[in-house]
A = this chain, B = another copy of it.
Amino acid sequence: MAHELGIAVVGVGYWGPNLIRNFSLAEGWDLRWVCDLDGDRAARAVGKRSTVEVTSSIDDVLDDLDVDAVAIATPAHTHAELAIRALDAGKHVLIEKPLAASVAEGEKMVSVAEDRGLVLMCDHTYCFTPAVREIRRAVQSGEVGDLQYFDSVRVNLGLVQSDVDVFWDLAPHDLSILDFILPPGVLPTGVAAYGADPLGVGQACLGYLSLPLCNGGMAHAHVNWLSPTKIRTTIIGGSERMIVWDDLHPTQRLSVYDKGISLTADLDPKRQRDTLVSYRIGDMVAPALPEQEALRGVVGEFRASIVEHRRPATDGQAGLRILRILEAATRSFRGQGVLEQLEEAM
């Protein structure tokens, strides 16, 4: 059996319990600590009859020499300080999205990790779902053809928050998925953000991001805290195949259409609708996907990157690319939707 790495989970909010459960059950990990400012909450999270230690002090965690790595699931504005302290203490770091509250903070985190030769991994959980992995494979293998558009809808009745707007809360999911599946050389060249604050809480509660791609295509995300119905649907249009990913479908998450489009000249002068394009309608395939919890893949990749001394699939640089888009989106949103250029952003 593989040598176990000691891990601590810091922050027991919405996501922390999932980290606790996965690190508890995963091969190669030994969950030693759960840390939260609210010690009672930490205790409840590990449950009765557990020998995992709980604390409200990060120092307890960082002082433990048997702790090899720390998983941080606290609010975004605390990420940089906690992560840098952990890295300084020689711990590898897995961090919730977004990487940090600003590009500047994120760059410092990446820099510290690189200097110390430690792993800094972003928990871009969706990138470890079987569906997104299959989309990435299909796009990057060329099966999909030229990427024409990426359209993502992520809406539900969510918590309206005071510290982050809906772009910073929800769009990191869509942007990290986009970042993960884009083929090499296809990058967003800018971002424009429209949104609204109809509750008057001081920040956008629903919004739309438009990202032109350098190949002539575009990406778009609709994020919304005020939707009565939950939608998690992404459409990827390509010149050869088109993919619909419905993350809420109980059985058929991924549908791959081989409907093609051919440019044709329409020579009939009497036709009232001058069609330039004809379609070959083909079959749809819903590929069989393994049933596997994405977070299990995250903790596996985190361990593998530590043991193999390599970058994880969703490293700090990936987190930084998302931050750069989010900061540009904030500027665009404040500037009435003007397109903000991204330089070498992704």
Chain A positions within 8 Å of B, measured between CB atoms, are 11, 13-14, 24-25, 30-31, 37-38, 47-52, 74-75, 146, 148-149, 151, 153, 155, 157, 159-163, 192, 194-201, 206, 208, 210, 212-213, 215-218, 220, 222, 224, 226-230, 235, 237, 239, 242-244, 248-252, 255, 257, 259, 261, 263, 266, 270, 272-277, 279, 281-288, 336-339
> Are B222 and A242 closer than 8 Å at their CB atoms?
no
Contact of A226 among B148, B255, B263, B274 (CB under 8 A): B148
| Contacts A210-B208, A276-B162, A286-B284 given; does A216 touch B228 at CB 8 Å | no
- By a CB distance below 8 angstroms, the chain B residues around A249 are 250
- In whole Å, how far is A174's beta carbon from the nearest beta carbon of chain B? 14
Q: How far is the CB of A88 from chain B (nearest CB, A)?
A: 23
Chain B residue contacts of A257, Cβ below 8 A: 228-229
Known: A48-B24, A74-B272, A149-B206. A160 touches B261 (CB 8 A): yes
In-complex Cβ contact of A227 among B157, B230, B235 (8 A): B235
Q: Are A217 and B198 in contact (CB under 8 A)?
A: yes
**Can you list 27 A-B contacts (CB < 8 A)?**
A13-B273, A14-B273, A31-B48, A31-B49, A37-B270, A75-B272, A148-B206, A157-B281, A160-B277, A161-B274, A161-B275, A162-B275, A163-B273, A194-B220, A198-B218, A198-B237, A210-B337, A227-B235, A227-B242, A228-B242, A228-B257, A228-B284, A229-B251, A230-B251, A249-B250, A284-B285, A285-B285
Q: How far is the CA of A200 from the CA of B200 in the complex (A)?
A: 42
Q: How far is the CB of A95 from chain B (nearest CB, A)?
A: 15
**Distance in angstroms between the alpha carbons of A283 and B255 in the assembled complex:** 10
Task: Give complex CA distance A239, B197 in Å.
Answer: 12
Is the CB–CB distance between B235 and A228 below 8 Å? yes
User: B residues within 8 A CB of A30?
Assistant: 48-49
Q: Are A151 and B24 in contact (CB under 8 A)?
A: no
Distance of A33 from chain B, by nearest CB (Å) = 11
Establish whether residues A287 and B276, one from each chain, have CB atoms under 8 Å apart when the complex forms: no
Q: Which residue of B lies closest to A250 (CB)?
A: B248
* With contact pairs A228-B235, A283-B287 given, residues A149 and B274 touching in the complex (Cβ less than 8 Å): no
Question: A219's closest neighbor in chain B, by CB?
Answer: B196
Q: Is the CB of A146 within 8 A of B198?
A: yes
Closest to A220 in B: B208
Contact of A228 among B75, B230, B259, B273 (CB under 8 A): B259
Chain B's closest residue to A216 (CB) is B198
Q: What residue in chain B is nearest A47 (Cβ atoms)?
A: B24
Q: How far is the CA of A248 from the CA of B248 in the complex (A)?
A: 10
The minimal Cβ–Cβ distance linking A34 to chain B, given in whole angstroms, is: 11
Q: Which of A153, A224, A272 has the most C-beta atoms of chain B within 10 angstroms of its own C-beta?
A: A272
User: In the complex, how many angstroms separate the beta carbon of A263 from the nearest chain B beta carbon?
Assistant: 7
| Complex contacts, A25 vs chain B, CB 8 Å | 47
Residues of B within 8 A of A196 (CB): 148-149, 212-213, 216-218
